[in-house]
Structure 1
Amino acid sequence: MKIEEAQSTIREMLPDKRYRHSLGVSETAGKLAARFGADVDKARLAGMLHDIVKYFPDKKLKQLIEQHPNISNEYLSYSNNLWHAPAGAAYVEQTLGVKDRDILNAIIYHTTGKKDMTRLEKIIFLADYIEPGRDFPGVEDVRKAAENSLDEAVFEELWRTITHLLDQHQRVYPDTFFAYNDLVGSQNNQ
């Protein structure tokens, strides 16, 4: 799938604000990929498609997750705010015919992260957080970290996300803790 096709597809599926967010994620992902030596085209495409099913009803998201053989049903035990990521990858694969595992995994893990993230997975995870339309406390710190180090920026994002969820007394998906623990050692050695 070409980036223009993806943009046209999401334009029809997403409200204006989410469409602009997806454009921002795609652009940011492309810049991060160029900066950190990843495939720019894959990054832009994954960024464009990452929220494609964000506005599907929970019933449809649940169905996409349950019916996909490579996606854990464990997501369904956590906040439905996470469901659009794995369901989006299933939809992109099944409906749009995208078979590239790198792109699909980047979509799956863009909300939770995971241990041993690939460079592309880190880029989409980070681009979703720091795209230009985002404005919340701490985002500038993560943007600044992303100027120099992909791992430092992802670590900062994970720390802020976990802290926020704990402050709100919300459950944290295990992969998010695993991603944090995976990167914490490298941050302590800097």
Structure 2
Amino acid sequence: MMSNHYTHAEREALMQKVQMRMSNKRFQHVLGVEKTAVALAEIYGASPIKASIAALTHDYAKERSDDEFKQVIRQNGFDLDLLHWHNAIWHGIVGADFVQRELLIDDEEILQAIRLHTTGAADMSLLDKIIYVADYIEPGRDFPGVEEAREIALVDLDQAVAFETKHTLLHLINQEAVIYPKTIETYNYWVANFRRELP
């Protein structure tokens, strides 16, 4: 599937497999992320094909049961600390495993973008950043600050990563949620350090 001849038929077949695994509302979100990710890929010089495939599959496992995630974590060599977390973390990190096994997508760049799309990371590839940001700003999103996030994403992808990370963390803090360590690493790198280096 990762040839340069990603045909309309291949995309349609992938979309159908993804659609079967989720609610219509979730599928509409996925299509919005794909549209946004392809647009960002064209702006910043990433592969629109990889952006399309990563976007279509980023939430592939989102509606799986907790038990299914826990079974995969135990059986497939994941850090068992993940058992203490939940779907918001699992559907990216563990979700990539479902994508690889069930959809037969072996491209590591795509799988990594799926793994990191909710937590981010200090060290993100161009595709990682595109999927992370596209998930946040896709047309179906409606929350305070999303318009500003969209404007930033069109001119500076790194600033968009920083903006999203900061506001996601603020949201989690306001909810008094437990924060996954990688999300804090992402904040330290993209917001705290990034700001320090600005003139």
| Alpha-carbon distance between aligned partners in 2 of 1:176 and 1:101, rounded to the nearest angstrom | 21
| Alpha-carbon distance between aligned partners in 1 of 2:92 and 2:86, rounded to the nearest angstrom | 12
**Partner of residue 94, structure 1:** 101
Give the deviation of 1:22 after TM superposition. Answer: 0.5
Kindly tell me: are residues 133 and 65 of structure 1, through their superposed partners in 2, closer, same or farther at Cα, counting changes over 3 Å?
Answer: same
| Alpha-carbon distance between aligned partners in 1 of 2:34 and 2:80, rounded to the nearest angstrom | 28
Unaligned runs of 5+ residues in structure 2 are: 2-9
Matched to 1:77, the amino acid is H
Give the deviation of 1:50 after TM superposition. Answer: 0.6
Match status 1:55 vs 2:54: no
1:65 and 1:86 in contact (8 A); partners too: no
| Percent pairwise identity | 42
| Alpha-carbon distance between aligned partners in 2 of 1:142 and 1:76, rounded to the nearest angstrom | 32
| Alpha-carbon distance between aligned partners in 2 of 1:127 and 1:80, rounded to the nearest angstrom | 20
Matched to 2:29, the amino acid is H
Give the deviation of 1:155 after TM superposition. Answer: 0.5
Q: Secondary structure at the match of 2:155?
A: coil
What are the Cα deviations for residues 141-182 of structure 1, in whole angstroms up to 9, with x where unaligned? 111110110000010000000011111111111111111211
Unaligned runs of 5+ residues in structure 1 are: none
* Structure-1-length-normalised TM-score: 0.93
Q: Secondary structure at the match of 2:170?
A: helix
**Partner of residue 154, structure 1:** 161
* Structure-2-length-normalised TM-score: 0.89
Instruction: Count how many residue pairs are aligned between Structure 1 and Structure 2.
Output: 189
**Partner of residue 144, structure 2:** 137
| Alpha-carbon distance between aligned partners in 1 of 2:195 and 2:56, rounded to the nearest angstrom | 30
- Displaced runs of 4 or more, over 6 A: none
**Partner of residue 127, structure 1:** 134
Match status 1:41 vs 2:41: no
Give the RMSD, CA atoms, in angstroms: 1.5
What are the Cα deviations for residues 50-99 of structure 1, in whole angstroms up to 9, with x where unaligned? 11111111000122233333x43333323332211122200111111111
**Partner of residue 3, structure 1:** 11
1:65 and 1:90 in contact (8 A); partners too: no
Between structure 1 and structure 2, the one with the greater Rg is: 2
